[in-house]
Chain A
Amino acid sequence: MSDTITAAVTDKTAPTPAARAAHDASTREASAIAMQGLHKRFGRDTVALAGVDLAIRAGEFFTLLGPSGCGKTTLLRILAGLEEADDGRLLIGGRDVTDVPPHRRSVNTVFQSYALFPHLSVRENLDFGLKMRGVAPAERKARVARIAEFIQLGDLVERRVDQLSGGQRQRIALARALVCEPDVLLLDEPLSALDAGLRSQLQVELLRVQKRLGMTFVFVTHDQDEAMVMSDRIAVLNGGLIQQVGPPREVYEHPVNAFVARFMGHDNLYPVTGRCGDRLTTPLGELTAEAAGSGALLLIRPETLDLLPGDGAGTNHLPARVVERLYRGSHAEYRLAVGESTLQATVNNRGRHLPEVGDRVTVTVAPEDLVTLSE
């Protein structure tokens, strides 16, 4: 692991395939996570986790996504050892750590509030974990210097924590966790306190760090855009249960139920009232779908829709009226009235005609772009 950071510092573009492979072989076993039937209850009535089974692969950037109160933070805290599960088992690298206290787990956390020690300088903050672990002073010094260079905060190390900006604190919190070279790094909404520009910059940076080190990252967020940008795989949680696990594209394009679809930002959900082969009866009208599954809800993604001026006839051609248009430069977002229903459409701005509010248009969608899902 130590070698990986050194290699990554000297070669800033990417680890050599050989180094990456060697590293993968040594940590693959040690950093995979298995959760089996985790339950957690707070007080008598609040169920935080209602039986979570989840396997996270070694070297994966894994995101726990969900609204507040869905159990994602509780799950992360159980991984860190800061919370004890009422029932179930947790294995890290094949070892049962269910009852291991946090200070004896090779897991480190980047906290939402950063939790940098105010009585220590940046250097002493970075050094804290190594010192507590009893690493020899010379090695500690070298590792702190290396991580400071890696995260590019060399000139900050002598500062006091209260002299730093939000973005700098975030970097130092990350460095303080990374320097311990844990098997698993946990990140609890680490970017949520930052403004939009800095946030997207640090998203990219975090992703590069993870790819370069090949460390297992478990990331918690309520922001589906952030989850999609960062993750190898996403687990969507609600009500203490996992709703869906999969790569971002799968979760976005093929949500398994209405909750996941809505949480990923989809509004175009319509009940399927009748079905005859590939023909679906919906409040929008009759639609032809290809391999759309047998769910009771139809999902139409706004970006799969095309708007044609005037009336038109053909497969999946629906007459509509423009109710609202939000011009966003690169694209425009439309709200359309189709019969009694509303339909959201996103149209890329290729310099062609963009229908105005009040215009009559025809909406079309390709049969293979339609998906159905369960309630």
Chain B
Amino acid sequence: MRKRTLKRGLTAFWWLTLAFLYLPLAVVVLFSFNASNSAANFTDVSLRWYYRLLGNEEILSAFANSMVLAIVSSVVALVVGCLIGYGMYRHRHRKLGWLIVLIYLPIVLPDIVFGISEMAFFVQVHRLTGFLQPGLSTMIIAHVTFQIPFVALIVYSRFVGLDPTLFEAAKDLYATPIKRVVHFMLPTIKPALISAFFLSFTLSVDDFVISFFTAGPESATLPIYIWGAIKKGVSPEINAIATLMIGAVAVAAIVSLMFSRRRQA
């Protein structure tokens, strides 16, 4: 009897936690389909705010910026992070503790410190050389720096999970160094690479703080646009953007998770 009560209590707690996590999101999604522009009363279902988005030049360009930033930075981070991950694997027998800390540091550093440092650095470089004017290029560099550790760690853990004699088997079966990469290493870590790409993608789309400090006047991303727009009050349009972002990030996160599951299998 008592056990049953406890079990019910725990079940209720579980639903409460879920509600706590997802109700705010549900409210945003719900009101994005609201026909009126009231944030309090839901009157009727309509797609009017979504149509409104399509007509808003500023939002469309922010969306485009977000996508370019996310895709380009993820691709660059994938290449660099993959090489680092493989390097960490190859030299895992040496004492690399301090190097691992260096790679982890960007993950634990507060975003705002990271963002301010990046900004100060880019300003200096621009003052001295004329390159790296704040804009998409600086944002891409900043995003790549915080994505690399994630990619490197995912790739590293995939390699560590492999039987080390596989590398020798590939050599033994006449694969030259290049063929080993093409026919053995890349196919073997493919699920890890896909997972790492989508994780980087969601990290980039999510990021506001670092983007904010490294952006130029022309390179506002969706989070930056929303932050600017919200100063004038929450419009239902913002709800519609937020809903689209929830959808996009959820898809990317699910794909990433799917491939990381397959990686373990």
The reply to whether chain A is a binding partner of chain B is: yes
| Residue ranges of A at the interface with B (Cβ–Cβ < 8 Å) | 80-82, 101-104, 107-109, 111-113, 115-120, 128-129, 131-133, 162, 176-177, 180
Q: In the complex, which residues 157-179 of chain B have their Cβ closer than 8 Å to any Cβ of chain A?
A: 162-163, 165-166, 168-176, 179
Contact A131 B171 (CB under 8 A): no
| Residue ranges of B at the interface with A (Cβ–Cβ < 8 Å) | 162-163, 165-166, 168-176, 179, 183-184, 187-188, 190, 265
9 pairs of residues in contact across A and B, judged by CB atoms under 8 Å: A80-B168, A108-B173, A111-B165, A115-B165, A115-B169, A118-B188, A129-B174, A132-B179, A133-B174
Contact B174 A115 (CB under 8 A): no
Contact B172 A102 (CB under 8 A): yes
Whole-angstrom distance between the alpha carbons of A303 and B115 in the complex? 82
Chain B residues within an 8 Å CB radius of A162: 265
Tell me the minimal C-beta distance from B87 to chain A in angstroms.
Answer: 21
Contact A117 B169 (CB under 8 A): yes
Whole-angstrom distance between the alpha carbons of A270 and B265 in the complex? 57
Chain A residues within an 8 Å CB radius of B179: 132
Tell me the minimal C-beta distance from A144 to chain B in angstroms.
Answer: 13
Whole-angstrom distance between the alpha carbons of A54 and B27 in the complex? 80
Which of A115, A116, A128 is the most central at the interface, judged by chain B CB atoms within 10 Å of its CB? A115
Whole-angstrom distance between the alpha carbons of A80 and B174 in the complex? 11
Contact B190 A128 (CB under 8 A): no
Contact of A113 among B163, B175, B176 (CB under 8 A): B163
Chain B residues within an 8 Å CB radius of A116: 169
A188 to B, closest residue via Cβ: B165
Contact B171 A103 (CB under 8 A): yes
Contact B171 A101 (CB under 8 A): yes
Chain B residues within an 8 Å CB radius of A117: 166, 169-170, 184, 188
Whole-angstrom distance between the alpha carbons of A132 and B176 in the complex? 8
Whole-angstrom distance between the alpha carbons of A119 and B173 in the complex? 16
Chain B residues within an 8 Å CB radius of A119: 187-188, 190
B165 to A, closest residue via Cβ: A115
Whole-angstrom distance between the alpha carbons of A103 and B184 in the complex? 14
Whole-angstrom distance between the alpha carbons of A132 and B172 in the complex? 10
Whole-angstrom distance between the alpha carbons of A120 and B183 in the complex? 10
Whole-angstrom distance between the alpha carbons of A16 and B20 in the complex? 80
Tell me the minimal C-beta distance from A101 to chain B in angstroms.
Answer: 7
Which of B166, B174, B179, B188 is the most central at the interface, judged by chain A CB atoms within 10 Å of its CB? B174
Tell me the minimal C-beta distance from B86 to chain A in angstroms.
Answer: 16
Whole-angstrom distance between the alpha carbons of A54 and B168 in the complex? 24
Chain A residues within an 8 Å CB radius of B169: 109, 111, 115-117
- Top 5 A-B residue pairs of the complex, sorted by shortest distance between their CB atoms: A129-B173, A115-B169, A132-B174, A115-B165, A102-B171
Chain A residues within an 8 Å CB radius of B168: 80, 82, 102, 109, 111, 115
Known contacts A115-B163, A118-B188; A180 and B171 CB within 8 A of each other:
no
Contact of A132 among B165, B175, B187 (CB under 8 A): B175
Contact B173 A176 (CB under 8 A): yes
A111 to B, closest residue via Cβ: B165
A186 to B, closest residue via Cβ: B172
Contact A103 B190 (CB under 8 A): no
Contact A113 B171 (CB under 8 A): no
Tell me the minimal C-beta distance from A131 to chain B in angstroms.
Answer: 7
Whole-angstrom distance between the alpha carbons of A370 and B169 in the complex? 47
Contact A109 B172 (CB under 8 A): yes
Contact B163 A128 (CB under 8 A): no
Contact A115 B175 (CB under 8 A): no
Whole-angstrom distance between the alpha carbons of A128 and B169 in the complex? 10
B189 to A, closest residue via Cβ: A119
Whole-angstrom distance between the alpha carbons of A176 and B173 in the complex? 9
Whole-angstrom distance between the alpha carbons of A113 and B165 in the complex? 8
Chain A residues within an 8 Å CB radius of B175: 103, 128, 132
Contact A82 B171 (CB under 8 A): yes
A162 to B, closest residue via Cβ: B265
Contact B174 A180 (CB under 8 A): yes
Whole-angstrom distance between the alpha carbons of A120 and B170 in the complex? 13
B168 to A, closest residue via Cβ: A82
Chain A residues within an 8 Å CB radius of B174: 103-104, 129, 132-133, 180
